[in-house]
Structures are given as structure tokens and as C-alpha cells.
Amino acid sequence: MKISKLQFNNYDFLGSKVGQNKKNAPQSGFALPLVDYADGRKFVSLYKKQDGKKPLFQGMNCSTGHFELKKIVDLECSCCGQKMIPLDVVKELSAKTEHKKGEELAHRMKIMKKYFRPIEQEVALDIADYARNHPDLSISQIVKELNAENIENLETQQKLVMDEIRETIAKFPKNDQGKLFNFVDKSENLIELKNDEKFFKRKKFIWALKQLLETIEDTPLKDELIQIAQALPNSESSASAFYAKYSRRGNNEIVRRLLTPAIATAEHIKPRSLGGLDNTANYIAECGTCNSTRSSMPYNEWFKQMPEMPENLQDYINNIAPRIARGDYPGYETYIDDIIESIKEETKGKLILKNPLKEQN
Ligand SMILES: [Zn+2]
């Protein structure tokens, strides 16, 4: 099948001529020959023939920023099933919260609870309690005080990991151990220092450790060591690390950070790095946490790691399908069938979801 620009322009796109309805029209990239795409097969699947005559438009070229379905308030993540929040609403909620103190601040934390992930919930509870007992303090002052209270705790968590790192270093060839131990000694000094200018940073530590390991002969112990180092507490895995990181930040940034893991994102079913397109047929709304955890893992592997995903995906489809059917999202008419097809393809037929608005055979 060959699609020329002329045919494209004449094509009656879901009831309205392309060009007449700019908002629903696919973006310009679509009108160009798509030969540049690495995956030639996708070119065909975007234009499916119907009755052997007219091509049926499938999916819509669209940047992740323009994916409309991630703007639905309280939509559940297609992967973990937790409630998500559109970016605009994060800004609104942060603005409503940042200047609150005392009981009002505690109340704001309660209202936003449904969006918090476990660590954020723990932090929000601490903030609420502290605010009730210290009604004059702003969020940033509270986080600073919580940091002072929790810093010893963080040190203990960090040192536990450092102990494990030392145990693994002891298994390295003798002549490599010296510089590795030396590096860990220096890092532990930083942990103990807790000075305002010099303090231990997890990311920096892991980066430097990787650099150091580059200078050492290959052994599977290297990967083991990095894996252990990844377990060092960070603001996503430890409330104490959260306080340490955000003890010097402003009110607004802290509130936003609490909501960030729940921000709805457009996730590529087939990762871009593996040739996936910026097309609605390749997008599902997923929370920031799932999106960053998955990174560019192929869907086929990702869904094996998330046993609850098939059910959450079906819930996502069941939730979205009636909204599209009642005309809330013009241009998304084929969306449900498109993603069912994309997911089936990406999981090599292992995950077959149902369109609730279609009779199943
Ligand atoms: Zn999620």
C-alpha cells in the first residue's frame, strides 16, 4: 500500500477533513513519507485497509506532551493501578498547599494522601503531625527539623549498605581491594561529616564507584557491587533520605516532590529506543514511578515483573473506553483497539486484553 501526501490530504479523518479541524488532525509528521522509521512494519500497521478500499486511520502521531488521556484527573495507572495526577493539577495543589501551616497544612496532606506512594505517605504523615505540634512552621522549616531528627537514622541505613559493600570487596582479587576499600573509607567519612558543604551523595557515590570499577579487571563481582550500592537509601526509598535531600528546598518544591511519583505520563508501549513511535497507538497513561522504573525495558519483560499489570491494564481500558465512546476524546476513536493490538504484539500474544464495548467471540 502506498500513501501519497495527496491522498492523505483528501482523507476524511474521522468525520472531519484534515486541515479543517487542526486540533484533531495528526501533526505534520504524518503527511510526510514515513520511510525514516526504523521499523518499516509499523508504517503499514498505522494505515490498515478496511474492506480493501479505504485505509482506516489507526493511531495518531502525537508527542507525549499532547497525549490527552494523561490529563484525566484520578485516572488509575495502567501498570500499578494507583491514582494519577495531571501535571497542571500538581501545580494547582502545590500552590494551594505551599503557604499553609499548622492544622491547615495537616489537612492539605490528608486531602492529597490518595496520590502519595509509600515513602511520600510516611513523609506526609510526619509533616502533618509536626505541623499540628508546631503551628508556626512552614513546610520547609518542618522538613529541616525532621532532617535533624532523622539524620542518625539515615546514617545507620547508609552504613548497613556500606558494610555489605565491604563484604563484597573482600571477595575481589587481593590487588584490587586496596583502592576499593580506600574509596569506601572516604565515602564513610563523608557520611559521618554531615557538614553543610560536604555531605554524602548517593548518586555521586554510585557514579564514582562505576568509574573506579572500570579500572579493574572484569569479574561478575562488579555488577554485584553496583547492585548493592543501588540499595543505598534515596528519597524514593527512605523518609530519612527524603528529609536530608529536601532540607534545603523551598515549600513549593517539597509539595511538588511529594506528588511527583503520581504524575501521569505517556508511556511508550514499545520503547522509543527500540523503534517505538510517538503515536497514540503506542501510548498508555502510566504514573511517573512506573514509567521511570520500567525505563526502556521491553514490554514483554516489564509485564512479567508486574504480576498485577494485566488486571490494571484491563481496568484502564474499561475506564477509558466509555469516555472515548461518548465523544470526550475526538481523534482517539480507535485508541482502545490500537493499544490492545500494540500490547498483544509487544508481549508476543501473551497479553490479550478486551475492548469492553465490543462483543467478544
Ligand atoms: Zn504506576
Q: What is the mean pLDDT of each run of 10 residues along the chain (361 residues)?
A: 35 34 39 34 37 52 93 95 94 96 98 95 98 98 97 96 97 95 95 80 96 93 96 96 95 97 95 91 95 90 91 97 95 94 93 88 50
Same domain, 172 and 248: yes
Same domain, 133 and 254: yes
**What does the alpha-carbon distance between residue 114 and residue 101 come to, in Å, rounded to a whole number?**
20
Same domain, 130 and 187: yes
Residue 360 lies in a domain: no
CA of 293 to the centre of ligand 1 (A): 9
CA of 69 to the centre of ligand 1 (A): 15
CA of 97 to the centre of ligand 1 (A): 24
Task: Kindly state the cell numbers that stand for 182.
Answer: 580506600
Same domain, 77 and 175: no
User: Do 280 and 67 form a contact (C-beta atoms < 8 A)?
Assistant: yes
**What does the alpha-carbon distance between residue 223 and residue 172 come to, in Å, rounded to a whole number?**
12
Same domain, 297 and 231: no
User: Do 140 and 249 form a contact (C-beta atoms < 8 A)?
Assistant: yes
**What does the alpha-carbon distance between residue 86 and residue 102 come to, in Å, rounded to a whole number?**
27
What is the pLDDT, as a whole number, of residue 210? 96
**What does the alpha-carbon distance between residue 50 and residue 57 come to, in Å, rounded to a whole number?**
9
CA of 81 to the centre of ligand 1 (A): 6
Q: What are phi and psi of 355, to 5 degrees?
A: -85, 110
Query: Helix H segments across the chain?
Result: 5-10, 40-46, 87-97, 102-111, 118-133, 139-169, 174-193, 202-214, 220-230, 239-246, 251-259, 288-294, 299-305, 309-325, 335-346
| Alpha-carbon 200 to chain mean position | 26
User: Do 258 and 93 form a contact (C-beta atoms < 8 A)?
Assistant: no
CA of 325 to the centre of ligand 1 (A): 25
CA of 106 to the centre of ligand 1 (A): 26
* Beta-sheet pairing, 264-268 with 283-287: antiparallel
User: Do 339 and 316 form a contact (C-beta atoms < 8 A)?
Assistant: no
Domain count along the chain: 3
CA of 198 to the centre of ligand 1 (A): 35
Neighbouring-strand partners of residue 308: none
Which residues have CB less than 5 Å away from ligand 1 (the ion)? 77, 79-80, 287, 290
CA of 292 to the centre of ligand 1 (A): 10
CA of 287 to the centre of ligand 1 (A): 4
Boundary residue ending a domain (260, 277, 297):
260
CA of 267 to the centre of ligand 1 (A): 10
CA of 82 to the centre of ligand 1 (A): 6
What is the pLDDT, as a whole number, of residue 151? 94
Same domain, 292 and 334: yes
Residue ranges making up the domain that contains 96: 87-260
What is the pLDDT, as a whole number, of residue 88? 92
Residue 352 lies in a domain: no
Residue 279 lies in a domain: yes
CA of 119 to the centre of ligand 1 (A): 15
Boundary residue ending a domain (237, 260, 283):
260
| 3-state SS class at 76 | strand
CA of 288 to the centre of ligand 1 (A): 7
- Give the Cα-Cα-Cα angle 198, 199, 205 (nearest 5 degrees): 115
CA of 299 to the centre of ligand 1 (A): 14
User: Do 235 and 122 form a contact (C-beta atoms < 8 A)?
Assistant: no
What is the pLDDT, as a whole number, of residue 360? 59
Q: How much is the pTM?
A: 0.77
**Is the dihedral angle over the CA atoms 282, 92, 103, 254 positive or is it negative?**
positive
User: Do 317 and 339 form a contact (C-beta atoms < 8 A)?
Assistant: yes
